[in-house]
Chains A and B, each alone.
Chain A
Amino acid sequence: MTDDDTPMTDGGTDAEARTDGGPPATVPPDDETPTWSDRKERSQGLAQLTYQYFERSRREDEDLRAESTYVERDVLGFPTWPHETLRNLAITSFFVGIMLLVAALMPAHFGEPANPGATPAIILPDWYLYWSFGLLKLNPLNPELAVLGGDIVMSNELLGIVAHGVVFGVIGLVPFLNKGSARRPVEQPFWAAVGVTGVILAFTLAALAIQNFFPISLDLLITLTFVLPVLGGILTYAVLKTMREGYMYDLNRRYYMLRPPK
């Protein structure tokens, strides 16, 4: 940066014009760069630990970079601006147009005024809460959850709430259970199958919520609610496993050029 005749303001990227953003515009730390503890003396407690960690993590980063034979790629992801944003604008205008069109063609429904004295025959939330409403209608399952045929452990309403907790909890745990660099469903048929099971379950629960519309017995409906998703999951797994063989050759060829195995 000092012996170069062209002035640089971006931390010394090479003079050649680049269209991919180039390396990060920060000055890489060297021996003369003051360490965190040099900059400010932190000698005790959490502050010390924090700064020690910063130093360690930075050193680790440098070491890994020095050891690595991996050629750094210029683009690690899509730049959000302007790349993503501009592309999205086209879709955005289209989307708003569709929204206005649908609003004009299908005006919102309006019903009777509220009457606390008269329960309507059909109570339904908006479509996006059908799955949730379906979870509230699991009460026929409740006696089966009782321990050793005793009294039911929890009220029917509580069962519904616990079911919600389970759903949200499972979804929240996914990134902690599924790790690794695989991205496509064919690469991990199991997790794709889990996803398909979840999607079908949302639909069958919605069907359970509007059970009045189905001319089949409630027992059968509840059984189907849980059996169909599992069947769907198994089917997905089988299909993806079969596809995998043919897919993997091509996929591996490209994929491991980008991410060479350690």
Chain B
Amino acid sequence: MSLKKQDEMDHNAWLKNQDLTVIETAFLTTLIWLDKRLRIVDYLELLETMYYRANLQMPKSHTEQYDLDNKFWYWYPLYSLGSLSIVAYLVAAVSGALLGFYYAPSTAGAAAQGDPTAAYDSLVMIMTDVQFGYMLRSIHRWAAQFMVAAVFLHMLRVYFTGSYKEPREVNWILGIVLIGLTLLFGFSGYVLPWKQLSFWAAQIGVEMALATPLVGEWAAQLLFGGFTLGQATLVRMYILHVFVLPFVVTGLIALHVGIVWVQGIAEPH
């Protein structure tokens, strides 16, 4: 017995004993090197656990357990509309962040009324000069359209299956708030290119705000930065679109889904 301490876990010795190809040796050497420093094995264990969890036998669903026919599954897509609106929201968020790199919320640069402004020009730049920019804008816009459509259809599904009933009133109200905010999201995004339709849509917005009793003028100041449209309007719509609404809507979506999680999906019958 030698005095030299035996290393049970001498991976290099173990490696030498194996009959391995060059590729296998290189792979194992790299893996051992990394694992000694980063303990990758721990994370692999985590991954493994997740794999086995995901592959466990599914709990029986309500419909399976009570033999409510397989008819329900024809309707299943309608039950994933809420999830689909979140997916569309995420796609819009990613493409929107990329668009934000190139967009300039400014009405500068118009020599006369009706000339292109900096905001308009930055959109032209995105659509003509930026690599993949045309597609990026198209994806962002369509993601928004899909989100609104999915949200509306989600609401109809919840209505016609009575899922808003007794313990779930709060989530129904929250859903109404979320639909309103989604529409506001769409509206503020519609204004940003500062094209003709954007401008006049915003004009209608200001008029609506001003017609509201008591809080109208204050709301017009807050949202549109005054009673006539201009630089202030554009920047406020921009901040609303890229800063305020994303935080608020993401938070409310989390709450909405959290409540669903706690209360369970309403049983389809």
Contact = CB atoms under 8 A, between A and B. Distances in A.
A99 B91 contact: yes
B198 interface: yes
A174 B164 contact: yes
Contacts of B169: 175-176
Contacts of B194: 113-114
A136 B268 CA distance: 37
A126 B213 CA distance: 26
Interface residues of A, number: 78
Interface string A130-163: 0011001000000000000000000101101100
B173 interface: yes
B195 A112 contact: yes
Interface in B127-183: 127, 134-135, 137-143, 145-146, 148-149, 152, 156, 159-166, 168-169, 172-173, 176, 180, 183
Given A129-B187, A195-B159, A107 B152 contact: no
A213 interface: no
Contact of A254 (B68, B142, B261): B68
Given A103-B142, A184-B269, A110 B201 contact: no
Contacts of A77: 62, 263-267
B59 interface: yes
User: How would you classify the secondary structure of chain B's contact residues: helix, strand, loop or mixed?
Assistant: helix
Interface of A: 19-21, 73-80, 82-84, 86-88, 91-92, 95-96, 99-100, 102-104, 106-108, 110-120, 123-129, 132-133, 136, 155, 157-158, 160-161, 168, 171-172, 174-176, 178-185, 188, 191-192, 195, 199, 254-255, 257-258
Interface of B: 53-54, 56-62, 65-66, 68, 76-77, 80, 83-84, 87-88, 91, 107, 110, 113-117, 120, 123, 127, 134-135, 137-143, 145-146, 148-149, 152, 156, 159-166, 168-169, 172-173, 176, 180, 183, 186-187, 190, 193-201, 203-204, 207-208, 210-213, 229, 260-261, 263-269
